[in-house]
Amino acid sequence: MTTAPIAAPPRSQVETVIQSFSDAAEKDQDIYPQIYTAYFRRCPGSDELMAHTDHRMRGRMMEEVLMLLMADELSHHEGYLRFETKTHEGYGVKPMMYENLLLAVRDTVRELLGTDWGEVYESAWEGRIAFLGQNIFSALSDNEAKAMGGSSQPSTPPGDSWPT
């Protein structure tokens, strides 16, 4: 059973997140290493899970994360989210790790922007991370329900700021 699609966030929210990336890119062209450093600091144990990855694989993974952060809607990405969350579960990825990665991206952009970061960016990022969290949580629910042969909620919900 597939969960109902989650309403897309306002277009202005997506545009604001994209603008923050653009502003950050003017300050530093390659933010991926900084994001992973922030992620590993924020999420102990994640560096061990990713020990088998090289910079190219991490780059591809981050491209997908940024694509999701900048997508207007995720309805055409539902299958992708289910596939990726199921695949990553096999590597030992826990639901809270997704939130930590998204927060590490935000924190890195915030740090690069310094005093240019304001309430508009903060609000847009907060909304965007919550929206992605709902969609990831939905994908996790669908995966668990399929594994159990019915409808279910994941046994390990995402972090406190994510839907339960």
Q: Where are the domains of the chain?
A: 11-148
13-67 per-position pLDDT tens digit: 999 999 999 999 998 778 999 999 999 999 999 999 899 899 999 999 999 999 9
First to last CA, the chain: 18
118-153 per-position pLDDT tens digit: 999 999 999 999 988 888 888 888 777 777 776 545
Question: Could you give the CA distance from residue 19 to residue 118 in angstroms, rounded to a whole number?
Answer: 12
**Residue matched to tokens 């890195």:** 108
8 A C-beta contact, residue 24 and residue 113: yes
Q: Where are the beta strands (DSSP E) in the chain?
A: none
Question: Could you give the CA distance from residue 23 to residue 46 in angstroms, rounded to a whole number?
Answer: 28
Going by C-beta distance under 8 Å and a sequence separation of 6 or more, which residues neighbour residue 88? none
Supply 158's token pair. Answer: 């995402």
Supply 159's token pair. Answer: 């972090």
Question: Could you give the CA distance from residue 133 to residue 162 in angstroms, rounded to a whole number?
Answer: 6
Rounded average pLDDT over 87-105: 89
Supply 5's token pair. Answer: 């699609």
- Cα–Cα nearest to 17, from 61, 67, 63: 67
- Cα–Cα nearest to 107, from 136, 129, 137: 129
pLDDT of residue 91: 83
Sign of torsion, CA 152 155 158 162?
positive
What is the fold, at CATH topology level, of the domain defined by 11-148?
A: Globin-like (1.10.490)
**pLDDT above 60 (res 154):** no
- For residue 134, which amino acid is it? Q
